[in-house]
Amino acid sequence: MNYLVLALKRSGHHSFTNWLKAHTGQNFYNNCCNGWQDKKLLTMRGKKEAVNGIANIEDFNPASWRKYDFPSFPFLKQCITIIFTRTLDNWLASCYARKFSVNEEHKDVYKFLDKSYVNDSKHNSPSRIDLYCEHLRLANEWEDKIGYVAIAFDDFIKSERYRKYIAERLGIEWNEEADKSILTLSKYGSGSSFRFLHHHMTYDVLNRQMIFVNDPEFQDIKGLAVKKVYKAMKEMGKL
């Protein structure tokens, strides 16, 4: 079985791909944002093709799912597709923390929170907050659909019971030793956004937004995001 993970950058999804790889022993192909016109999944770096195993696409625009007819890709013929999301406050904080990065390239997740941009696939993309709303819609659309699984980062990190449930949904056998892989920080995404902040260890991984409780810019961005998410949830009949 193959696994395709669709997630926003800074969603914490590499904790899941590490965990999945630990359980299955499969190869992992990071950010397969190329090759779609040829029905291939090619990594951003090195253009390696994901023929089988675990692949992810970062900041995926759901509009591309229909445009390129992803279900027709050979990789997806025997595949479970995963939509991986993180709570809004937590995700925003992880993105916003990159404002303080010493590497300009890493600031993209902060710069494009509220403005459109050209993504890793070289396509025009809505703002990352708009993408967050679209991922919520996709998770809602796929909620009870065979071959698709929605995973919540926060529940995945804090609950062993939830991880056992996810393992069952994915058709794999949960393993206690492999489960410990969530304790290892992923090398992808250059690690935690918060290593640039002296006080980053003050707050645990599920409450990082508390660092910016007195930051006016973060609170403005959060206010915008809350309004958009509220609208999306209302349209989905979730409120």
CATH number (domain holding residue 19) = 3.40.50.300
Strand partners, 28: 54
How far are the Cα atoms of 146, 225, 231 from residue 5, in angstroms, in the given order? 15, 23, 25
Residue 117 C-alpha from the chain's centroid: 18
Is residue 92 within 8 Å of residue 222, measured between CB atoms? yes
CA distance 185 to 192: 8
Question: For residue 105, what are the contacts with CB-CB under 8 A and spacing of at least 6?
Answer: none
pLDDT tens-place string over residues 108-130? 999 999 999 999 999 999 999 99
DSSP 8-state code for residue 185? P
What sign does the CA torsion over 48, 51, 52, 57 have?
A: positive
Total count of residues recorded for the chain: 239
Domains held by the chain: number: 1
What is the token pair recorded at 199?
Answer: 């006080």
Q: Is the pLDDT of residue 171 over 80?
A: yes
Q: Which of 108, 93, 98 lies closest to 206 in space, CA to CA?
A: 93
Q: Exposed, middle or buried: residue 65 (CB in 10 Å: 0-12, 13-18, 19+)?
A: middle
CA dihedral of 24, 26, 32, 36, whole degrees rounded to 10: -100
| Owning domain of residue 189 | 2-235
Q: Which of 24, 14, 89 lies closest to 57 in space, CA to CA?
A: 14
pLDDT tens-place string over residues 202-231? 345 556 678 898 999 999 999 999 999 999
CA distance 74 to 188: 25
Average pLDDT of the chain to the nearest whole number = 91
pLDDT tens-place string over residues 125-149? 999 999 999 999 999 999 889 999 9
What is the token pair recorded at 66?
Answer: 């229909």
